[in-house]
Amino acid sequence: TDARQRPALPANSLQVLDRDHLIHPVMSFRGHEKHGVTVLQSASGMFLRDASGHDLLDAFAGLWCVNVGYGQESIVEVAAEQMRRLPYATGYFGFGSEPSIRLAARLAELAPEGLDHVYFTLGGSDAVDSAVRYITHYFNSTGRPAKKHFISLERGYHGSSSTGAGLTALPAFHAHFDVPTPRQHTIASPYPYRNPVGGDPAAVIAASVAALEAKVAELGAETVAAFFCEPVQGSGGVIVPPPGWLKAMREACARLDILFVADEVITGFCRTGPIFACHAEAVSPDLMTVAKGLTAGYVPMGAVLMSDRIYQGIADGLAPEAPIGHGFTYSGHPVSAAVGLEVLRLYTEGGILANGEARGPAFASGLAGLVDHPLVGDARSRGLLGALELVRDKAAKARFDPAVELPRRLFEAGYRNGLIFRAFADGTIGLAPALTCTADEMELLLSRLRRTLDDVLDDAEVRAALA
């Protein structure tokens, strides 16, 4: 049943059509030609079924987005009803639609203090891109046009738009794409497991604050527009900073007179416990980007939220009736907005936020319990966002050589054990189960994870690479 080992491909099979015509996100073209893809067919609750009938426990909520699990009928009904009544409504020409208006108001209510204004996008990349455009407009409008430099974290991920890919600091997103631009800069990630200052929380926080201060001093505060960060770095390998880090960075930005942007595309909507990770530390960013859990992946949508200061600065910089040249055909799409309202209702009134919070301790202790495994160097999590970092030498924290192809082996062993997770290029396993996960499903996830690690350890080539 392993699609990756299927031999002959019948003409016009899905595999052939896929190989010949469909470009997949991020996937190597040559790797795609060689390995093909596993076609997913249906899903229910925590489980996916592929075209060969193999059931898989999805420990990654799709792409850390299906926070409410698969098969939520009330979402299907809301979407169908909205499509019947008003499938599309432009936000241009002075038009609006009830779902987009209500969702903006609800988001402003749930968001950190002061983020009262919402612009809807189609996902996270264009939310980040929109944030950069609004920030640029703001500083041009308020008489500080020199503030054009942006700072983000090493191993940060802020999407794949032309600007966001430069704020993203992962090698594959830069190579061959001519980013970062000279206006995009990074500082070291608060990576407790590998921080040169060690893992002590106070030292990690102090190092990040000092790095930001040094970078702003080097560039000149009058030229720096903003610092972008994820409250927990997701695609960089689920790097969990110590509690208090976010607040310290927010306060540093205020002191340094630069804007603080929280990219909550993954951490938002209960992924780390509260509805937004910023709430855990009472942090109010100047802008916040969201997507994924906003509609739980059932339909696409993202948003950028901005404070009244940014909003008023942009408004005052223009003649009263002058348009702001930023807009998408599908901004505030009524079907996506109706789904968003229902998803938010499920989190807050449907018990999903509470269930996710209730599962957090078992998830954390289950991952911590895997640190005794010969392959696991570090286990970390916040809420239901977690990772195991695999190493070939625990004492030296040495990663496996890419030639061992650990991510592929992990993914294939997971597949055989009925488990989906993210196998990062450096050998880290990323986990983000749906917040609807029951106690039994959490146990099943953790037991399949251990079996997967055991199977990979049984692999002669992996064993040979171990220290």
- Among 157, 269, 363, 415, the residue binding ligand PLP under the rule CB under 6 A is 157
Least CB distance from residue 300 to ligand PLP, whole Å?
7
Contacts of 1 (CB under 8 A, 6+ apart): 50, 52, 53, 54
Judged by beta carbon, residue 111 or residue 375, the one nearer ligand PLP is 111
Q: Which of 117, 147, 158, 392 binds ligand PLP (CB under 6 A)?
A: 158
- The residue within the footprint of ligand PLP, chosen from 68, 75, 128, 205 (CB under 6 A), is 128
Q: Which of 263, 378, 389, 441 binds ligand PLP (CB under 6 A)?
A: 263
**Which one of residues 36, 123, 231, 407 is an interface residue with ligand PLP (CB under 6 A)?**
123
Quick check: 378 binds ligand PLP (CB under 6 A)? no
CA distance 271 to 278: 12
DSSP reduced 3-state for 233: strand
In terms of CB distance, is 125 or 195 closer to ligand PLP? Answer: 125
Residue 159 contacts ligand PLP per CB under 6 A: yes
Least Å distance between CB 125 and ligand PLP? 3
Helix 73-85 and helix 334-348: axis angle, to 10°? Answer: 150
Which single residue brings its beta carbon nearest to ligand PLP? 124
- 113 token code pair: 């203090």
Task: Tell me the C-alpha distance between 452 and 442, whole Å.
Answer: 15
What totals of helices (H) and strands (E) does the chain contain, helices first? 17, 15
Token pair 């995009």 in the structure block, residue? 184
Q: Which is nearer to ligand PLP, 263 or 286 (CB)?
A: 263
Q: Report the C-alpha gap between 292 and 124 in whole angstroms.
A: 7
Minimum distance from residue 93 beta carbon to ligand PLP (Å): 27
**155 backbone φψ class: left, alpha, beta (φ>0; ψ -120 to 50):** left
Strand partners for 117? 306
Stretch near ligand PLP under the rule CB under 6 A, chosen from 72-80, 93-101, 130-138, 155-163: 155-163
State yes or no: residue 117 binds ligand PLP (CB under 6 A).
Answer: no
Q: Which span sits near ligand PLP by CB under 6 A: 89-97, 152-160, 426-434, 443-451?
A: 152-160
Residue 93: Cβ within 10 Å count: 5
Largest Cα–Cα distance in the chain? Answer: 70
Residue from the set 235, 272, 295, 417 that interacts with ligand PLP by CB under 6 A: 235
Question: Among candidates 330, 422, 364, 371, which has minimal Cα distance to 122?
Answer: 330
Q: Residue written as tokens 């699609």?
A: 3
Task: Pick between residue 286 and residue 441 the one whose CB is nearest to ligand PLP.
Answer: 286
Query: Is the CB of 159 or the CB of 313 nearer to ligand PLP?
Result: 159
Return all residues near 263 (Cβ < 8 A) that are at least 6 apart: 124, 128, 156, 158, 228, 229, 230, 288, 289
CB contact at 8 A, 253 and 227:
yes
**266 is a site residue for ligand PLP (CB under 6 A):** yes
Query: Does 124 help bind ligand PLP (rule: CB under 6 A)?
Result: yes
Nearer to ligand PLP, 72 or 130 (CB): 130
Using the minimum distance from each CB to ligand PLP, give the nearer residue, 375 or 431.
Answer: 431
**Residue range at the interface with ligand PLP (CB under 6 A); choices 117-125, 191-199, 336-344, 357-365:** 117-125
- In the complex with ligand PLP, which residue's Cβ is closer, 224 or 291? 291
Cβ atoms 264, 378 nearer than 8 A:
no
Through-space distance between the first and last CA atoms of the chain, rounded to whole angstroms = 34
Binding status of residue 66 toward ligand PLP by CB under 6 A: no
Binding residues with ligand PLP: total (CB under 6 A): 15
**CB neighbour burial string for 367-404, b if at least 16 within 10 angstroms, e if fewer:** beebeebebbbbbbbbbbbbbbbbbbeeeeeebbeeeb
- Binding test (CB under 6 A) with ligand PLP, winner from 91, 234, 237, 360: 234
* Contact (CB, 8 A) for 204 and 192: yes
Range 282-301, binding ligand PLP (CB under 6 A)? 291
Which residues 174-213 are close enough to bind ligand PLP by CB under 6 A?
A: none
Query: Is residue 230 near ligand PLP by the rule CB under 6 A?
Result: yes
Query: Least distance to ligand PLP from the beta carbon of 295, Å?
Result: 11
Binding site for ligand PLP (CB under 6 A): 123-125, 128, 157-159, 230, 234-235, 263, 265-266, 291, 302
